[in-house]
Chain A
């Protein structure tokens, strides 16, 4: 178990190094000097430019530059922003909680919903209800999340006016009492979270359905029935519990895609998270923010897959103790 965790941690470090290398390549190859814009912002003096170049090691040979950059990243310095007085790390850090809130909510909804639906489908595999929902699931997980977000926006925000058009909170929400503020936040969260959850629930349900169908012929389920357990208990406890470890694996595998979907949906709903910030940064050629997002995204993914592995181990004693 300990070697297992160590191996996963090593992998996580490698992932972050790889992302940092990629970020470095982007910064080096970017047209123009990534500091041009920054320097102009601070007054454009050559002295300022030289200071910055020295700080980020740009006057050094390329290998040194790379190492300097790695060292900076390791210390949490992801570079200055080209357009804002905040650093790139600061911009991402300010946006991160919003992304985590949206992702966390939608992942929870997607996995709970997907597991329940998948289990329901598998327990009556082949029935009309199963076939119908499986078809629907296939269509749903073929839907690009950002487009579903647009459609949801069109229907539920523009036409039905059930939900706000975007953002994390109403402009004057800070004037409201705390309870109403919370409600306002949830109101803003609902639509983007549900859109993300719907598409991902379809994926989870599909996976859960297959995992459960794989488990159903197991002889120990028959043995459980022979002990007088009800069908509900046999399927709902014994089979489902044994079919959960693959879902933990799915969580790890799907995490990068989940992050990608969130990035796009954030843009649609003007949700000021990492994705929104990154995409705005592209338009402004703010390379340090873009690369910071890649590095932080890699860290998030690494943490996500670590969580998935731990979850897998928690769910499957054969992995845990072996």
Chain B
């Protein structure tokens, strides 16, 4: 965990404190003629854009929007995915096959083209609408993961036992599946956030995402893209911010996964002893020795 987690905390802090950290107003045209496309300098470390706005300030403020969209979309995706996945995995049978066929179909649709079509129709949406839309098109993969986990857990002895003892489905789900699903869900949320940040940037780059003059990393890149040959700084820095954020989120997710899976799937410790392939009896030579 360590480093990625710390970096993630710093990123979130920067996004939170953007208004305090930003040296200039992100939207105000300071001097749209004299300052247009001035290269990075002490006064404007990331340079200025075509309207003479401070790119650093726009990137800092953009962090709020981009990360907000990313995190919200991930939460929406994970919630929907969990709902569908648990339903399919727990109920099984027809419900399961219908839901999973729908998911198969949804997964096979090119997500970006679908979003482009929907957004082209809607025109530029609000930040929240964008987050909802990105989340609503992202739960499909999640539901598969959750379904697999649910099915695996459902067939465990202790869940069957709880069901046999007459525990209500809701109770079994919350008390028993909950802890088992927590780890994969946490990891997925983190990784989905990264995906959503990239997607927001892509849509905003196409002019279909966050509406200017409000800054998001994607639309700052969009504004810089036509001038990449001359005023490279406008598109470069917000892009670096995306890479930094997404790489951080991804490595945090990976580290989290490694840590959670390193101890094996989460299982109640008492039950491990009862399982046939759990802890071997004392005195037996174990793992490190490969016995063919």
**Complex-state Cα separation, A257 to B112, whole angstroms:** 8
Q: Is the CB of B114 within 8 A of A22?
A: yes
Q: Does A247 contact B (CB under 8 A)?
A: no
CB-CB under 8 A from B221, the residues of chain A are: 146-147, 150
Q: Is the CB of B113 within 8 A of A144?
A: no
Q: Is the CB of A151 within 8 A of B206?
A: no
**Complex-state Cα separation, A144 to B292, whole angstroms:** 46
Known contacts A15-B105, A147-B235, A294-B113, A158 near B205 by CB under 8 Å: no
Contact count band on B: 35 or more
Q: Does A260 contact B (CB under 8 A)?
A: yes
**Complex-state Cα separation, A269 to B224, whole angstroms:** 15
Q: Is the CB of B247 within 8 A of A139?
A: yes
Tell me the residues in window 203-254 of chain B with beta carbons closer than 8 Å to chain A beta carbons. 205-208, 221, 224-225, 228-229, 232, 235-236, 239, 242-243, 246-247, 249-251, 254
Q: Does B202 contact A (CB under 8 A)?
A: yes
A interface secondary structure, majority: helix
Q: Total interface residues on A, using CB and 8 Å?
A: 54
- The 6 A-B residue pairs with the shortest CB-CB distance, nearest first, are A260-B112, A147-B239, A142-B246, A142-B247, A297-B110, A158-B229
- Chain A, residue nearest B225 (CB): A150
Known contacts A282-B120, A294-B114, A138 near B250 by CB under 8 Å: yes
Q: Is the CB of B117 within 8 A of A305?
A: no
Complex partner residue of A278 from B104, B116, B242, CB under 8 angstroms:
B116
Q: Interface digits, A268-285 against B, CB 8 Å rule (1 contact, 0 not)?
A: 100000000011001101
**Complex-state Cα separation, A264 to B221, whole angstroms:** 13
Q: Does B91 contact A (CB under 8 A)?
A: no
Q: Does B43 contact A (CB under 8 A)?
A: no
Complex partner residue of A154 from B205, B228, B243, CB under 8 angstroms:
B228
CB-CB under 8 A from A18, the residues of chain B are: 105-106, 109
What are 16 inter-chain pairs, A to B, with CB distance below 8 A? Answer: A15-B109, A18-B105, A26-B117, A142-B249, A142-B250, A144-B205, A144-B243, A150-B228, A154-B232, A264-B205, A279-B206, A287-B121, A290-B117, A293-B113, A294-B113, A298-B113
- Chain A, residue nearest B224 (CB): A150
CB-CB under 8 A from B254, the residues of chain A are: 138
Give B101 Cβ to nearest chain A Cβ, in Å: 7
Complex partner residue of B235 from A23, A142, A150, A256, CB under 8 angstroms:
A150
CB-CB under 8 A from B236, the residues of chain A are: 150-151, 154
Q: Interface digits, B169-213 against A, CB 8 Å rule (1 contact, 0 not)?
A: 000000000000000000000000010001001100111100000
- Chain A, residue nearest B251 (CB): A138
Given contacts A19-B114, A154-B232, 16 further A-B contacts (CB under 8 A): A22-B118, A26-B117, A138-B250, A142-B194, A142-B249, A142-B250, A144-B243, A146-B221, A147-B235, A165-B229, A259-B112, A260-B111, A282-B120, A285-B120, A287-B120, A291-B117
Q: Is the CB of A14 within 8 A of B101?
A: yes
Q: Does B17 contact A (CB under 8 A)?
A: no
A-B contact count (CB 8 A): 150
CB-CB under 8 A from B201, the residues of chain A are: 144, 147
Q: Does A61 contact B (CB under 8 A)?
A: no
Complex partner residue of A305 from B101, B108, B247, CB under 8 angstroms:
B108
**Complex-state Cα separation, A147 to B235, whole angstroms:** 8
Q: Does B107 contact A (CB under 8 A)?
A: yes
CB-CB under 8 A from B206, the residues of chain A are: 264, 267, 279, 282
- Chain A, residue nearest B230 (CB): A158
CB-CB under 8 A from A301, the residues of chain B are: 108-110
Most chain A CB inside 10 Å of its own CB: which residue of B109, B111, B232, B292 = B109
Known contacts A142-B246, A147-B201, A23 near B117 by CB under 8 Å: yes
Known contacts A18-B105, A144-B201, A150-B239, A279 near B110 by CB under 8 Å: no
Complex partner residue of B239 from A23, A31, A144, A300, CB under 8 angstroms:
A144
